[in-house]
Chains A and B, each alone.
Chain A
Amino acid sequence: MDSNIETRLIFIAPTSDLTPDRIARFIHNLGNEISVKETCYGVVLQGPKDAVKRTLDEVRKMDPNRIYSKIRAFPMGDLRRCRAHHGSRPGFAQLEKEWKDLCLVEQGLICVEKGEKPPTPKKRQKIPVNDLRKLIDEVSP
């Protein structure tokens, strides 16, 4: 495959009102001559690198703090990965977890935009021994 071709995933944060369908239609209307595929979390783009970049910049403008993206190694519809061909999907647990966290990251980006000082987060501590003992007693009395 041509090294100038890039495949990109575009994720819509769970808090956004946008739908994959709307983004796919918007990309078709841009006429940047790239392929678009709707997915459950957003869309997959594939095409020349500069066209994909231009498209991503336009899509981001729709909802800057709720649209995220990363590149993908496998080409769009690759038989080894595509679910339509019973491809495996390792790494989906990570994508799912990070997708759920996007609404938190969005709050961080808003904080940066406003130039606010972030609150000091509470330090995570280890579970006290007595609490752990109670949990063990509950499970195996």
Chain B
Amino acid sequence: MKIFIMPPNSLILFDLVERFGHEPLSLMKALRDRVTSNEIEAPPLNVTLDDVKTGLKYAGIEIPSGIRGRLAIYGPLIDQAEAAIFMEDAPYSFGCVGCQRTNELAKLLVRKRKVPILSLDYPANEDDAKDMVVRVKEFLEGLK
């Protein structure tokens, strides 16, 4: 099954989802096509006209353009998602306020789709990590 992960470029979640036999829907895969396309000079900083149109499907015109641009990439992933795993409580160094707001809107869009969701926190110690991995495994096995 296709699992949407949040943060969408998380190493830990990408690895765990793949390890337990599912396909992670990650930002890296979505950016790959843009990065290797000759049409965009400095991806992911630039967007194309089509991206702006795609973004409008997921975020209204009053939403800041940076967030709409990001959602043009996240949105199609959310549409494909059959389940989702969110890791909350990330350190501030993970991204700017624009990234944070985009993540919040993306989570809302996933919740609106009514797919199974597992919400976790970044582990702070061994007990947290054990609990986290076991919950991820049980969640992913329950989807089969």
Q: Which residues of A contact B (CB under 8 A)?
A: 1, 3, 7, 9, 11, 68-75, 78, 80, 91, 93-95, 97-99, 101-102, 104-105, 107-109, 111-112, 116, 118-122, 124
Q: Which residue of A lies closest to B95 (CB)?
A: A94
* Nearest-Cβ distance from residue B63 to partner chain A, whole angstroms: 22
With known contacts A71-B28, A93-B93, A11–B11 Cβ distance under 8 A: yes
B108 sits at the interface (CB 8 A)? no
Q: Are the CB atoms of B35 and A74 closer together than 8 Å?
A: yes
Is B62 in contact with chain A by the CB < 8 A criterion? no
Interface-centre pick from A69, A91, A121 (highest chain B CB count, 10 A): A121
Residues 13-59 (chain B) with a chain A CB within 8 angstroms: 14-16, 18, 26-29, 31-36, 42, 44
Decide if A104 touches B32 in the complex (CB within 8 Å).
no
State which of B26, B44, B121, B132 has its C-beta within 8 Å of the C-beta of A71: B26
- Flag whether B112 is at the interface (Cβ < 8 A): no
Question: Are B32's CB and A80's CB within 8 A?
Answer: no
- Enumerate chain B residues within 8 angstroms of A112, measured Cβ to Cβ: 133-134, 137
* B33 cross-chain contacts in A, Cβ below 8 A: 3
Tell me whether A68 and B93 are in contact in the complex, defined as CB-CB below 8 angstroms, given that A1-B36, A73-B31, A73-B35 are known contacts.
no
A101 to B11, CA, bound (A): 10
A-side interface mostly: mixed
Check A104–B126 contact: CB distance below 8 A.
Answer: yes
Within 8 A of A (CB), among B104-128: 121-128
* Inter-chain contacts of B10 with A (CB < 8 A): 70, 94, 98
The answer to whether A94 and B9 have CB atoms under 8 Å apart is yes
Question: A91 CA to B95 CA in the complex, in Å?
Answer: 8
B residues in contact with A74, CB < 8 Å: 35
A9 to B, closest residue via Cβ: B11
User: Once bound together, how far apart are the Cα atoms of A104 and B126, in whole Å?
Assistant: 5
Instruction: Tell me the nearest residue of chain A to B42, going by C-beta.
Output: A80
CB–CB A71/B29 < 8 A: yes
A108 to chain B, nearest CB (A): 3
Determine if B61 is an interface residue (Cβ-Cβ < 8 Å). Answer: no
Cβ B122 vs Cβ A101 within 8 A: yes
